[in-house]
Amino acid sequence: MADDLSNHPDNELIQSLPSLIAGLESCKNIISNQSSTSESKSNAWSKVLKTIEMIANFAKNEISRDPLGASGAVDLIVQFMQLNDTQSYDSIDYQCLRALANFCINSDVNRQRILDSGGINSVLVCLKKQKNLESIRGACAVLLNAGLQYDRVNSEIIKLDGIIALSNLLEPENILKKYVENIDIARTTVYFATRVLLNLIGIDEGKSKCATTEVITALTHLLSYASSDNATNEDVDIIENVVEILESIAIDSDEVQQILVKDKLFYSLLDFLEHSKPPEGCGQRIDKIYGESKAAALKVIVSTTMSDKNMDPLFDDTIILNRLLNWLELGPERDDLQMCAALSLGNLARSDTHCIKLVHDIHIVEPLANVLKTSSNVKVQHAAISALKNLSIAAENKDIIGSSGIIGATSPLLEKDTVQPVQFVVVGIFKHLSSQNVKNSLKIILGENQNDVERPLTRLLNLIKRTDDLPIRSEGTRILVNLVKNMWVENPHTVLEGTPVSSLRSELNRQEVVLPLANMIIESKYPILQNEGIIALTLLIMDDSAGSGDSNPALNILTTTNECEEISDNTTSQTIVHSVVNDEMIPSNSSTVATQQEHSSISPLLKSLLDMILSERDKYADEIKCNVCLLLEKSVKASCGTRKQYLKESILPPLTSLLEQTQLPDKFKSAIERIVKCLN
pLDDT digits (tens, 9 = 90+) for 521-549: 999 999 999 999 999 999 999 876 554 45
pLDDT tens per residue across span 85-110 = 766 677 899 999 999 999 999 999 99
With CA atoms as reference, report the closest residue to 156 among 186, 195, 115: 115
What average pLDDT score do residues 62-70 get?
Answer: 91
Flag whether pLDDT at 350 surpasses 60. Answer: yes
Q: What is the pLDDT of residues 169-182, one digit of tens each?
A: 999 999 999 999 99
- pTM of this prediction? 0.85
In the predicted model, is pLDDT for residue 44 greater than 60? yes
CA dist list (Å): 84 to 75, 93, 541: 14, 7, 92
| Strand, helix or coil for residue 349 | coil
- Predicted pLDDT at 26: 94
- Burial of 416-432, coded b for 16+ CB within 10 Å and e otherwise, reads eeeeeebbbbbbbbbbb
pLDDT band at 12 (very low <50, low <70, confident <90, very high): low
Over residues 333-351, the mean pLDDT reads 95
Q: What is the pLDDT of residue 680?
A: 83
- pLDDT tens digits, 609-634: 999 999 887 889 999 999 999 999 99
* Average pLDDT of span 213-235: 94
Overall CATH class of domain 10-160? mainly alpha
109 touches 69 (CB < 8 A): yes
- Structure confidence at residue 86 (pLDDT): 67
CA distance 391 to 357: 10
Cβ neighbours for 300, distance < 8 A, ≥ 6 positions apart: 243, 246, 247, 250, 251, 260, 269
Chain region(s) in the chain for CATH 1.25.10.10: 10-160
pLDDT score recorded for residue 518: 95
Q: Cα–Cα–Cα angle for 427, 431, 435, nearest 5°? A: 170
Asked if residue 433 has pLDDT above 60, the reply is yes
Q: What is the average per-residue pLDDT within 157-175?
A: 96
CA distance 465 to 507: 17
Task: Give pLDDT, residue 566.
Answer: 42
Q: Note the pLDDT tens digit of each residue in 489-503.
A: 999 889 998 899 999
